[in-house]
Amino acid sequence: MTKPLDRVLGARLPDPPAALRRGPFGEDAFPSPLHTERRASRVGVWLGVGFVVCFLTGLISHLVQNPPGWFYWPASPVWLYRWTQGTHVAVGLALIPLLLVKLWTVYPKLFAWPPARTPAQLVARLAVLVLVGAAVFQLLTGLLNLAKWYPFGFFFTTTHYWTGWIAVGAVLVHVGALAPQIRRGLARRGSPAAVVGLDEDDAARVVAVDEAAEHAAVSRRAFVLTAGLATGAVALTQWGQTVSPLGQVSVLAPRIPGVGPQGLPVNQTAQRAGVTETAVDPAWRLTVDGPTPLSLTLADLQGMTQRTERLPIACVEGWSSNADWTGVRLSEVLEAAGLAPDTEVTVESLQTGGLYRVATVSPPHVRSPKTLLALRLNGEELDLDHGYPLRLIAPNRPGVMQTKWITRIAPGTGGIGS
């Protein structure tokens, strides 16, 4: 079976008409000696590491919001999600210039003539097309999500998640298919390892090209320095949305810690959620289902024992900020309703629609003494945009799951999980 398949994949394809060999397909269209296996391989290593980091941190965020039965996400340390998601966004943005550098190092190969000499080469070229397409799609849609601009007709979160699997799979296939070239590129210039597997003429050509690059108009050091500075600048100018001291230089960050109502950024406003009237209605009540059902007024909640916790609010867009939250422990309210302090519950918002109107709070977070039904933020009554009259704040959860404008708590699973 293997030999017939090898013969099919290795069969020579007919060359395309010579008349098509124009523009970038022309002979010697890309004469720069900087387009070498060595540079492409070394940039590819960093790019591959970055994509793996983004994939793993993105997978964590997906599992936190859509937990399967086997998944466990702790309530502590309180900063864990803040750093995993901040890393996801920071590395993703830094990959944009790095991907452009990688494409620059290999783009002559994208216009190689003929495009494929065998069916095996054709499959490899198509795999590269999938890899480049998935990588560009992930970085572009991620950037648009940070700006909260959705010109596309699909749901970003789901599409971004599944395309991530395609991208990381394409990276693995690409590495496997080009392992010999990558090994040559990562070996020292001019060393025997750099030319292993090549005949004498091809080996001499590989070494000569790399040596020529060292004497090119743009030196290797200048190339590496430029690529490193571009990548580092992108990371630095948005990392301040996670690391507060860098906020002043984070000109690319969509949110800056400390900027917003009561010193905290806001994504979903009360007006957009359609709760500007219901949230301030004197008839508002918090309903808690349980063996001893509760219907609590704002005054009832204010009369209960108040706790203050310093917790970060961490958004899936990568920004996060610490704040002092004051309110009633969720576990104490559940206990008053006759529920065990580790009962999984759903928390419902006054907003009438939206994917995050209902959130699930799992036992690790229900049990945590840091999980509050917050009434105050930084010593002041909650701003309407921050969830007045009542919001959830729990440690180590995405901001979209910190439900605002709470109206009902009930045992069971019914929404975005934790």
Q: Tell me the average pLDDT across 298-311.
A: 96
Report pLDDT for 198: 44
Nearest to 275 by CA among 373, 359, 387, 382: 387
Q: Which tokens sit at 344?
A: 């999984």
Domain ranges of the chain: 9-249, 263-411
Q: How many CA atoms lie within 13 A of 65 on its CB side?
A: 21
Q: How many CA atoms lie within 13 A of 297 on its CB side?
A: 6
Flag whether pLDDT at 317 surpasses 50.
yes
Say which CATH architecture domain 263-411 belongs to. Answer: Alpha-Beta Complex (3.90)
DSSP state of 266: -
Q: Which tokens sit at 274?
A: 């359609």
260: left (phi over 0), alpha (psi -120 to 50) or beta: left
The C-alpha R_g of the chain, in whole angstroms, comes to: 27
**pLDDT tens digit sequence for 156-172:** 889 999 999 998 888 88
Flag whether pLDDT at 69 surpasses 90.
no
**pLDDT tens digit sequence for 194-245:** 433 444 455 455 555 555 544 554 566 676 677 777 777 776 666 656 665 6
DSSP notation for 237-304: HHHTTTSGGGGGG-TT-SS-TT-SGGGS--SS-HHHHT-TTGGG-TT--EEE-SSS-EEE-HHHHHHS
